[in-house]
């Protein structure tokens, strides 16, 4: 545990990566110690195979899916790419429709395909506009090919939950393929793949307390998955390469723990809302307020306090949050999600706090205390200079 000014630091960045759950650490260590290749027929190989298949059952159960329809991947990015590329590989898809607030894993894979990409707009709360989709699908022509639509289940920056089941009904009525990125939703709210009616659904271990570098794609009977990697025929030929047994085992353990904790995961919402009310009183705009959101996510924006400065000010006080989406370069860009929601200039002053399985009410309180103090200092720079002089 790190300590800042005599206090333990607070980690409210679960949407970037959740702390690894103790159950996952124990399972990963056991798998590493046991070793063995799941394709080997001897005892060590069979034990490794059992670890992979146990994990498959646990991860599938977290989202109400069948273990036979889960292929493990290197993470959520690869799972999204496998879905999009598989749809395109059917030869039936000629254009892609994606939600306006999708993660870059979806946006950039769609753009890299070379097919025309249409952006499905969201309203000011960040909720995808079903009327728009209905109208677009009505106007779909045979020349457009089979409709392919990607919609995330919950947004990584705002936590806004999308109407994926309603979208699914529209897409299937048009004979299309709906892909759902459930990387942020799984383990935080109940997810039922069958009830959603999606063709494919992407997951990632490190958002639910599993290790980084492991994910999975759930696929239903209507989805034909085409392998991106060719080799030894692992994962029923869908994803070649010796399985990441330790990582997959950790994913399974985290999924089990997340499923067990689901009934209490919603407690975060009241703690988050209490913090949000204090920030709003000071002038912050709460993004996605009024929409259904993940319980542990708070995304807010102010005009006069740039995101990067907010993150640094809080970090100095031992409170770790993020400026909208974590970005691989470490650079902070104005939030594209808030821009899509019509936030304009405010998008440059976004902050995201995201809690999860080990977050307490006190964490949310302290986050609000520290942010309010930082904002007050920011608003009175002249007074502060006088104080220091």
Instruction: Please choose, out of 73-81, 229-237, 271-279, 303-311, the segment that lies near ligand PLP by the rule CB under 6 A.
Output: 73-81
Candidates 71-79, 120-128, 348-356, 379-387: pick the segment binding ligand PLP (CB under 6 A). Answer: 71-79
Under rule CB under 6 A, residue 200 binds ligand PLP: no
Tell which one of 109, 204, 322, 335 touches ligand PLP (CB under 6 A): 204
Residue from 36, 69, 76, 209 touching ligand PLP (CB under 6 A): that is 76
Span 144-173, contacts to ligand PLP by CB under 6 A: 152, 156
368 binds ligand PLP (CB under 6 A): no
Q: Which is nearer to ligand PLP, 75 or 296 (CB)?
A: 75
Closer by beta carbon to ligand PLP, 137 or else 294: 294
Choose among 366, 330, 271: nearest CA to 10.
366
Residue 137 vs 297, nearer CB to ligand PLP = 297
Q: Min. distance of Cβ 255 from ligand PLP in angstroms?
A: 14
Indicate which residues carry an active-site annotation.
Answer: 327
Cβ-based nearer residue to ligand PLP, 179 or 366: 179
Q: Cβ closer to ligand PLP: 106 or 368? A: 106
Q: Does residue 244 belong to the site contacting ligand PLP (CB under 6 A)?
A: no
249 forms part of the interface with ligand PLP (CB under 6 A): no
Toward ligand PLP, which CB reaches closer, 151 or 346? 151
Tokens of 320: 């770790």
Minimum gap (Å) between residue 204 Cβ and ligand PLP: 3
Q: Rounded distance, CA 370 to CA 377, Å? A: 11
Query: Which of 14, 51 has the CB closer to ligand PLP?
Result: 14
The two beta strands, 96-99 and 285-286, are: unpaired
Q: Is 307 in the site for ligand PLP (CB under 6 A)?
A: no
Q: How remote is the C-alpha of 255 from its chain's centroid?
A: 15
Contact 307, 325 (CB under 8 A): no
Binding flags for ligand PLP, 210-239, as an x/- string (CB under 6 A): -----x------------------------
Nearer to ligand PLP (CB atom), residue 176 or residue 324:
324
First-to-last C-alpha distance (Å) of the chain: 36
Token code pair at residue 198: 């999606």
- Check residue 354 for interaction with ligand PLP (CB under 6 A): no
Q: Which residue is nearest to ligand PLP (CB)?
A: 76
3-state DSSP of the chain: CCEECCEECEECECCCCCCCCHHHHHHHHHHHHHCCCCCCCCHHHHHHHHHHHHHHHHHHHHCCCCHHHEEEECCHHHHHHHHHHHHHHCCCECCEEEECCCCHHHHHHHHHCCCCEEEECECCCCCECHHHHHHHHHCCCHHHECCEEEEECECCCCCEECCHHHHHHHHHHCCCEEEEECCCCECCECCCHHHHCCCEEEEEHHHCCCCCCCEEEEECCCCCCCCCCCCCCCHHHCCCCCCCHHHHHHHHHHHHHHHHHHHHHCCHHHHHHHHHHHHHHCCCEECCCCCCECCCEEEEECCCCCHHHHHHHHHHCCEECECCCCCCCCCCCCCHHHHHCCCHHHHHHEEEEECCCCCCHHHHHHHHHHHHHHHHHHHCHHHHHHHHC
Binding-residue pattern over the window 99 to 138 for ligand PLP, x denoting contact by CB under 6 A: ----x-x---------------------------------
Minimum gap (Å) between residue 56 Cβ and ligand PLP: 17
Among 113, 184, 310, 320, binds ligand PLP (CB under 6 A): 184
Least Cβ distance, residue 207 to ligand PLP (angstroms) = 7
Instruction: Report the interface residues with ligand PLP, using CB under 6 A.
Output: 75-77, 80, 103, 105, 152, 156, 181, 183-184, 204, 206, 215
């Amino acid at each position: 545990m790190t300590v800042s000014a005599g206090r333990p630091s607070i980690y409210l960045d679960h949407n970037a990566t959740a702390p690894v759950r103790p159950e996952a650490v124990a399972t990963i260590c056991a798998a590493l110690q046991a070793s063995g290749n799941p394709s080997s027929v001897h005892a060590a190989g069979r034990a490794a195979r059992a670890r992979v298949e146990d994990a498959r059952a646990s991860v599938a159960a977290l989202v109400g899916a069948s273990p036979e329809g889960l292929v493990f991947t290197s993470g959520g990015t690869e799972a999204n790419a496998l879905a999009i590329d598989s749809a395109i590989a059917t030869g039936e898809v000629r254009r892609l429709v994606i939600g306006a607030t999708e993660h870059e894993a979806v946006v950039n894979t769609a753009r890299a395909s070379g097919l025309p990409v249409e952006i499905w707009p969201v309203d000011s709360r960040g909720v995808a506009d079903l009327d728009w989709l209905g109208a677009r699908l009505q106007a779909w022509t045979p020349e457009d090919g089979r409709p392919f639509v990607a919609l995330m289940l919950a947004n990584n920056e705002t936590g806004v939950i999308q109407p994926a089941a309603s979208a699914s009904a529209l897409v299937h009525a048009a004979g299309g393929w709906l892909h759902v990125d459930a990387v942020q939703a799984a383990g935080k709210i109940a997810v039922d793949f069958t009830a959603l009616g999606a063709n494919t659904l992407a997951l990632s271990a490190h958002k639910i307390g599993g290790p980084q570098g492991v994910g999975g794609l759930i696929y239903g009977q209507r989805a034909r998955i085409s392998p991106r990697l060719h080799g030894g025929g692992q994962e029923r030929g869908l994803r070649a390469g010796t399985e990441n047994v330790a990582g997959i085992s950790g994913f399974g353990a985290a999924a089990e723990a997340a499923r067990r904790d689901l009934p209490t995961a919603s407690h975060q919402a009241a703690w988050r809302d209490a913090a949000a009310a204090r920030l709003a009183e000071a002038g912050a705009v709460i993004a996605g307020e009024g929409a259904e959101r993940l319980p542990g996510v708070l995304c807010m924006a102010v005009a006069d306090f740039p995101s990067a400065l907010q993150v640094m000010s809080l970090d100095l006080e031992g409170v770790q949050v993020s400026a909208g989406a974590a970005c691989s370069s470490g650079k902070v860009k104005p939030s594209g999600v808030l821009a899509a929601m019509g936030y304009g200039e405010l998008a440059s002053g976004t902050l995201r706090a995201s809690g999860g399985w080990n977050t307490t009410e006190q964490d949310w309180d302290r986050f609000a205390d520290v942010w309010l103090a930082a904002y007050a200092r920011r608003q009175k720079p002249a007074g502060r200079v006088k104080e220091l002089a």
